Amino acid sequence: MAHAIVIHEQGGPEVMRFEEIAVGAAGPGEVRLRQTVVGLNYIDVYQRSGGYKLDLPASIGMEAAGVVEAVGEGVETVKVGDRVGYVMGTPGAYAEERIYPAERLIPLPDDISDEQAAGSMLKGLTVSYLVRRTFPVQAGQTVLLHAAAGGVGTIACQWLKKIGATVIGTVGSDEKAEIARAHGCDHPIVYTRDDFQARVMEITGGEGVPVVYDGVGAAVYEGSLGSLARFGTMVHFGAASGPAPAVEPKLLAGKALYFTRPGLAPHTATRELTLDIANALFDKIREGVKIEINQTYALKDAAEAHRALEARETTGSTILTV
Ligand SMILES: NC(=O)c1ccc[n+]([C@@H]2O[C@H](COP(=O)([O-])OP(=O)(O)OC[C@H]3O[C@@H](n4cnc5c(N)ncnc54)[C@H](OP(=O)(O)O)[C@@H]3O)[C@@H](O)[C@H]2O)c1
């Protein structure tokens, strides 16, 4: 019998229970997966806590790596025994086995391990679309990136450096500043102590930056808008500190700013869109971008992993082993 983390109510980490589940057979267009490694992401916290509403009982989680165990009728893109990863779709990655749509699977190249895949599908594909599609960063530009020592943050710092950008990154402690610096962040700012907007203006000679990548939300909202240069783009892609306020159009007028709230769901809505950002990520890993797996927990201990993530104790990626 397979097991999964199941929630019967939304709330604190304690609502997650490791239970036996009935997986069932793969239907048309589906595969049955034996998962090896699950990736932990901040979206899992929103799913568990009620930030995103789920039909209960439910399993949570949005990325994993594993092996195809069985294929349903009409599946042509993968076969039994293939190593695959996936991101998004219906929540339910916190499981030993699951049914999943074949169309959404990402075949894993031999040189990408299951750990690397589960540690980077969601975070790395996010960076892939953020810096290539949402605001295509050019060599020589200076960008502001919040939570630069985190999962998305450490991958983004490295990727932005490879493009040739100068990276200003905010972090919650001096230790995290060192981690961000080690991954290519040119100017780490401890925003829990220093005024990051003032520092950005100092570093950019009063100009501001053309883009802010913000996965932190409420706590940095005003300072982020204030850090932008004329015609700059605010990329608000997450809310680890709580939801940002509603956008007041007048606030954008003074510098003719752009505001966008992108998500991975539309960026993985088709196989073509998904494989484009996945292949770009695999190429960057081959060019030297490291997926830093700094925390590993057993799947059954997912509650501990959530506590650490919410307490800002994690850096880089966190995986749950099956
Ligand atoms: N839209 C998308 O497509 C998409 C995709 C992936 C992720 N995201 C978002 O990107 C953000 C980062 O995701 P991640 O999984 O890589 O997480 P993470 O960055 O590894 O962890 C979250 C970090 O946010 C910072 N933070 C600031 N204030 C916080 C607070 N009050 N509580 C908790 N953390 C706080 C902490 O870093 P410091 O201590 O350094 O401040 C913490 O380590 C999340 O908001 C996530 O939802 C969005």
Model confidence pLDDT, tens digit, residues 245-268: 999 999 999 999 999 999 999 999
Q: Are 65 and 84 in contact (CB under 8 A)?
A: yes
Residue type, 78: V
Region of residue 58 (phi > 0: left; psi between -120 and 50: alpha; otherwise: beta) = beta
Comparing C-alpha atoms, which of 121, 34, 12, 11 is closest to residue 322?
A: 34
Task: State mean pLDDT over 168-195.
Answer: 98
**Ligand 1 within 6 A of CB of 284:** no
| Ligand 1 atom 12: residue of nearest CA | 215
Q: Are 160 and 148 in contact (CB under 8 A)?
A: no
Computed over every residue of the chain, the mean pLDDT equals 97
Task: State mean pLDDT over 205-221.
Answer: 98
pLDDT value for 74: 98
Model confidence over 36-69: pLDDT tens digits?
Answer: 999 999 999 999 999 999 999 999 999 999 999 9
Atom of ligand 1 nearest to the CA of 237: 1
Instruction: pLDDT band for 312, please (50, 70, 90 cuts).
Output: very high
Instruction: pLDDT band for 193, please (50, 70, 90 cuts).
Output: very high
Enumerate domains of the chain plus CATH numbers.
Answer: 2-121+288-313 (3.90.180.10), 139-264 (3.40.50.720)
Atom of ligand 1 nearest to the CA of 42: 15
**Ligand 1 within 6 A of CB of 37:** no
Instruction: pLDDT band for 83, please (50, 70, 90 cuts).
Output: very high
Q: Are 3 and 95 in contact (CB under 8 A)?
A: yes
Q: Which two tokens stand for residue 86?
A: 């996936």
CA 159, 61, 36, 33: dihedral to nearest 10 degrees?
Answer: -110
Dist. CA 315 → ligand 1 center (Å): 10
> Among positive and negative, which fits the CA dihedral 17, 19, 22, 25?
positive
pLDDT value for 90: 96
Q: Are 153 and 118 in contact (CB under 8 A)?
A: no
pLDDT value for 241: 96
Dist. CA 217 → ligand 1 center (Å): 9
Q: From start to end of the chain, where are the E strands?
A: 2-7, 16-21, 30-39, 58-59, 63-71, 83-87, 97-101, 106-107, 142-145, 166-171, 187-190, 209-214, 228-236, 258-260, 293-298, 317-321
Q: Which two tokens stand for residue 211?
A: 């883009």
**Ligand 1 within 6 A of CB of 122:** yes
**Ligand 1 within 6 A of CB of 264:** yes
pLDDT value for 195: 98
| Ligand 1 atom 10: residue of nearest CA | 215
Among 42, 47, 130, the mutation site with the greatest number of ligand 1 atoms within 8 A of its Cβ is 42
Q: Which two tokens stand for residue 89?
A: 């779709």
Among 191, 312, 317, 320, the mutation site with the greatest number of ligand 1 atoms within 8 A of its Cβ is 312
Comparing C-alpha atoms, which of 280, 266, 11 is closest to residue 121?
A: 280
Atom of ligand 1 nearest to the CA of 192: 41
HEC string of 197-233 equals: HHHHHHHCCCCCEEEEEECCCHHHHHHHHHHEEEEEE
pLDDT value for 289: 98
Task: State mean pLDDT over 4-12.
Answer: 98
| Ligand 1 atom 47: residue of nearest CA | 238
CA 170 to CA 244: how far, in whole Å? Answer: 17
Check residue 43 and report its DSSP letter: H
Task: State mean pLDDT over 167-177.
Answer: 98
Task: State mean pLDDT over 282-290.
Answer: 98
**Ligand 1 within 6 A of CB of 267:** no
| Ligand 1 atom 31: residue of nearest CA | 241
3-class state of residue 262 by DSSP: coil
Q: Are 144 and 200 in contact (CB under 8 A)?
A: yes
